[in-house]
Chains A and B, each alone.
Chain A
Amino acid sequence: MSDVVEKTLTALPSLLSLDSQPGSAKLSTNSKLGNLIRGITELTSKHEEEKLIQRELLSIKEQVSSPNTTMRQMKELMVRTIYCEMLGYQASFSYIHAIKLAQQGNVLEKRVGYLAVSLFLDESHELLLLLVNTVLKDLQSTNLIEVCMALTVVSQMFPKDMIPAILPLVEEKLSHSKEIIRRKAVLALYKFYLIAPNQVQHIHNKFRKALCDKDPGVMSASLHIYLQLIQENPEGYKDLTVSFVTILKQVVAGKLPMDFNYHCVPAPWLQIHLLRILSLLGKNDQSTSEIMYEILDESLRRAEMNHNITYAILYECVKCIYTIHPKSDLLEKAAKCIGNFVLSSRINLKYLGLKALTYVVQQDPKLVLQHQMTIIECLDHPDLIIKRETLELLFRITNAQNVTVIVEKMLDFLRVSKDDHTTIDLVGKVAELAEKYATDNEWFIETMNTVFSVGGDMMQPDIPNSFLKLLLDGFDSVEEDRKLRLFAVNSYISLLQGEPSRLPQRFLQVISWVLGEYSHLNGDLEPDVVLRLLAKLLDMKSSSSETKSWVLMAMTKLCSGGAALSVAREVSETYGSSMDTMLRQRAQELQHLSQDSQLQTRVLPQSSSQEAVEVDSSLSFLDWFVSEALAAGAAPYKPPHQRQEEMSRSKALSLEPYGLSLPISMSSCSVADRQSPTLLSMSSGLSGDSTELSHKGSSTTLKLDGVKRVWGREGYLAQREPEEEAAQVETPAPLQSPSQQGDKDSSHSQAPTPTQTPESEQEKQQLASSLFVGLASQSSASLMGKSEQTSQRFRRKARSPDKSLSSSEQLTNPLGSPSSGADNLLLDCSISSELVSAPEQTHLQSLDLTAANSACDAPDGDTKGRKTLSRDDSVSAADVTPHEDPDRPKDLRLASYLPAELSGLSGLPHSEITLVCSNQSLDLSACHVQKDDSLEFVVFIKNSSDTSVHQVQVQVSCEELEVSCVCDSPAEELKSHSVTVCQYRLTVKRPSVYFELAGVVHYQLPAGSLQTEQFSHKLPLKSFIRPLAVSTEDYGTMWLAFSHDTKQNLPLLSDEQEPLTATLNVLKKKLQLHVVEIIGKEGIVACCLRPDQPCLLHCREHAGMLAVWLRSPVPDLPDCLLYHCQRALRER
Chain B
Amino acid sequence: MMRFLLLFSRQGKLRLQKWFTAMTDREKKKIIREMTTIVLARQPRSCNFLQWKDLKIIYKRYASLYFCLGVENQENELLALEVIHRYVELLDKYFGNVCELDIIFNFEKAYFILDEFLMGGEIQETSKQIVNRAIESSDMLQEDDHSEWYEVELFGP
Contact = CB atoms under 8 A, between A and B. Distances in A.
Interface of A: 1-2, 4-6, 8-12, 15-16, 21, 23-28, 33-34, 37, 72, 79, 82-83, 86-88, 90, 106-108, 111-112, 115, 119, 122-124, 143-145, 148, 152, 155-157, 178, 180, 183-184, 187-188, 190-191, 194-195, 217, 221, 224, 259-260, 262, 267-269, 272, 276, 308-309, 311-312, 315-316, 347-348, 350-352, 382-383, 385-386, 388, 419, 421-422
Interface in B16-54: 16-17, 19-20, 22-25, 29, 38, 43, 45-53
7 contacts: A12-B63, A86-B14, A107-B145, A180-B154, A268-B82, A347-B46, A385-B46
B82 A308 contact: yes
B105 A9 contact: no
B48 A12 contact: no
Interface centre among A15, A23, A83, A348 (most CB of B within 10 A): A348
A276 B64 contact: no
Interface in B107-157: 107-109, 111-112, 115, 119-127, 129-130, 134, 137-138, 141, 143, 145, 147, 150-151, 154-155
A9 B99 contact: yes
9 smallest CB-CB distances across A and B, nearest first, come from A9-B63, A24-B96, A312-B78, A155-B120, A123-B22, A191-B120, A259-B127, A8-B97, A383-B46
B120 A269 contact: no
Given A383-B43, A385-B50, A108 B141 contact: yes
Contact of A382 (B24, B43, B101): B43
Contact of B126 (A33, A82, A262): A262
B92 A5 contact: yes
A308 B81 contact: yes
Nearest to A112: B108
Nearest to B125: A217
B62 A190 contact: no
A268 B79 CA distance: 8
B141 A224 contact: no
Given A187-B119, A351-B49, 19 more contacts: A1-B85, A2-B88, A5-B92, A9-B98, A12-B64, A25-B99, A26-B106, A28-B105, A72-B143, A88-B14, A106-B141, A111-B138, A123-B22, A188-B119, A188-B120, A259-B129, A262-B126, A312-B77, A388-B51
Chain A contact surface mostly: helix
Contact of B63 (A6, A24, A184): A6
B76 A316 contact: yes
B142 to A, nearest CB: 8
A88 B53 CA distance: 24
Given A5-B98, A178-B155, A382-B43, A143 B123 contact: no
A79 B108 contact: yes
Chain B contact surface mostly: mixed
Contacts of B130: 259
Contacts, number: 219
B56 to A, nearest CB: 10
Nearest to A386: B47
A115 B143 contact: no
Contacts of A194: 1, 120
Contacts of B78: 308-309, 311-312, 315, 348, 352
Given A122-B23, A122-B24, A269 B96 contact: no
A965 to B, nearest CB: 45
Nearest to B79: A312
Given A25-B98, A348-B47, A107 B63 contact: no
A312 B76 contact: yes
Interface in B55-106: 62-65, 74, 76-79, 81-82, 85-86, 88-89, 92, 95-102, 104-106
A119 B23 CA distance: 11
A655 B76 CA distance: 48
A8 B106 CA distance: 17
A27 B105 contact: yes
Given A107-B141, A145-B147, A272 B76 contact: yes
Interface residues of B, number: 78
Nearest to A10: B63
Contacts of B24: 122
B98 A122 contact: no
A23 B96 contact: yes
Contacts of B138: 107-108, 111, 145
Contacts of A25: 95-99, 101-102, 106
B108 to A, nearest CB: 5
Nearest to B55: A421
A180 B115 CA distance: 13
B86 A262 contact: yes
A145 B154 contact: yes
Nearest to A263: B82
B96 A106 contact: no
Contacts of A183: 124-125
A385 B38 CA distance: 12
A382 B47 CA distance: 10
A187 B107 contact: no
Contact of B65 (A9, A26, A347): A9
B124 A115 contact: no
A683 to B, nearest CB: 45
Nearest to B16: A86
B126 A12 contact: no
A260 B127 contact: yes
A115 B50 contact: no
Contact of B38 (A16, A28, A143, A419): A419
Nearest to A424: B53
B76 A9 contact: no
Contacts of A90: 25
Contacts of A123: 22
Nearest to A178: B155
Given A25-B96, A348-B47, A5 B122 contact: no
Given A106-B143, A111-B138, A259-B127, A82 B105 contact: no
B104 A37 contact: yes
Contacts of A28: 105-106
B134 to A, nearest CB: 7
Contacts of A272: 76, 79
A9 to B, nearest CB: 3
Contacts of A21: 96-97
Nearest to B144: A106
Contacts of A156: 20, 115, 119-120
B99 A262 contact: no
Contacts of B124: 183-184, 187, 221
Contact of A9 (B19, B64, B86): B64
A1060 B24 CA distance: 39
Nearest to B142: A108
A351 B88 CA distance: 24
A6 B106 CA distance: 19
